Structure 1
């Protein structure tokens, strides 16, 4: 059922996808409340303070809002406990459409955001769950991969020759804007990938080619990866989770591409080479 787009609450509005979603919505003339702990807002959006762990911030954030972009609390292993009470409040406050950022690695009912994903269709008449593959920005920003490439010319993973269809955060944001504003909500989950599945060895070759310096993919065992992560103060439980994700990639869990970006935005997703040329070339 179609209706005029009202005001969108963007949670995590200073983050990788939230900042891009906020900017795109504002540029299209949509009303946006940009929610973050710092209450910082880009041009064209209204800043509002929001903290998942402080329910006193919920009411002002939800006031006058009819749709919401949900980025889970950072570092939460079990975010449903925090998110579901907020979503009940959101529905009661008049939110009609909810778009959740999850991951291609997590199905409905699975761990972490999987439980929130499962609950969403029961809570809202209009919904979508974005399940992006791994972000291309991991190789260009301040992520551990980008740091080890800059410092040592190394990509260190336990992924073997497993392939991932890495995706540009700009393409995730473009899909999110459609999911939030199109007359008909997707009412499904959307696996979002880039145009091609690449091994980390392929990624190292592209990074080396564009930057003109040698980049090598050093393959570690899961145990070596856990040791390396805990040595740089990553908590043991989280290190084990990251190693398990790499193992899943090695076993082929992320070796797929989808037409989601083209289907929703009308244009193809950006390639890793194009992104690296833009950011590092």
Structure 2
């Protein structure tokens, strides 16, 4: 009897990039274990319950797995405390490749996920870190920017006129699949952007044109944004997010890379195309 092929464990399989990555892997015929706190089914994948803070869920999720797509716990300012022991456990159980989702704004060795990034090559010989820019879906899904657009016609940030190479989550997933399944892992970090850098005022203008509803960008100071976010989340995480906006205002995210095209063989998708697909008619 032929042994079952090893599976890819996709953590956060109901989230923005995890759901897309699990679906693409399954559609291509790769065995997938779709991990989420509720063990929610994903088409073509085996649902498994997984909670970063419940070690009893870890070993069952790792059974039969040889590679992982790792999304650290959202909102945790110190994810290495739970993520690194899990990654070492996965390696000891036979997993040989890990692809970590981080962010373009967080360098290797930086805060939060940056510390997991720095440690990853010491755990896995085959690895990659995806560092996408801010998601285009933040303006179309359930993010506070999308809710602000729907409820008030306002995008509120401390980013000023700073520009960002916003990236489509579909493109992030496509790169994740290549990093997980290509014969050779990238063995580096990959900064992912869309094809152009846009300010939040530019985003508001595109949404206005596509939907026919007026949308504007409302700039706040760093301090105002920090206090606004602190009403919704832990103060330390609020300060970090407000600081990321301030970095955008200072030009830290004003860049475009060719990583999506280089890894997938097709150009990265632009924001207008996504807005026309997801917002037209709303």
TM-score of the aligned structures, taking structure 2 as reference length: 0.95
Given that 2:167 and 2:269 are in contact with CA atoms closer than 8 Å, whether structure 1 keeps it comes out as yes
Match of 1:171 in 2: 171
Cα 1:234–1:200 shift into 2, 3 Å: same
Contact 2:75 2:237 (C-alpha < 8 Å) held by counterparts: no
Task: Indicate conservation of the 8 Å contact 1:140/1:276, yes or no.
Answer: yes
Q: Does 1:219 align with 2:212?
A: no
Does residue 234 (structure 1) correspond to residue 233 (structure 2)? The answer is yes
Q: Which moved more, 1:205-214 or 1:236-245?
A: 236-245
**8 Å CA contact retained: 1:103, 1:133:** yes
User: Size of the alignment, in residue pairs?
Assistant: 276
Partners of 2:232 and 2:85 lie apart in 1 by 32
Structure 2 residue runs without a partner (length 5+): none
Partner residue of 2:63?
A: 63
CA deviation vs aligned residue, 1:53-103 (integer Å, no higher than 9, x gap):
111111111111110000001211100010111111101100110000000
Query: Deviation at 1:126?
Result: 0.5
8 A Cα contact 1:13 1:41, kept in partner: no
Q: Return structure 1 stretches of 4+ with deviation > 6 angstroms.
A: none
Structure 1 pair 52/251, CA: closer, same or farther in 2 (3 Å)? same
Query: Counterparts in 2 of 1:173-252, with a 5 A limit?
Result: 173-230=173-230, 232-252=231-251
What TM-score do the two structures reach when normalised by structure 1? Answer: 0.95
**Alpha-carbon distance in structure 2 between the residues aligned to 1:233 and 1:132:** 24
Partner of 1:148: 148
Q: Alignment partner of 2:65: what SS? A: coil
Aligned CA RMSD, in angstroms, stands at: 1.2
Structure 1 residue 189, shift from structure 2 partner: 0.4
Distance 1:187 1:79 in 2: 21
Contact 1:7 1:64 in 2 (8 A): yes
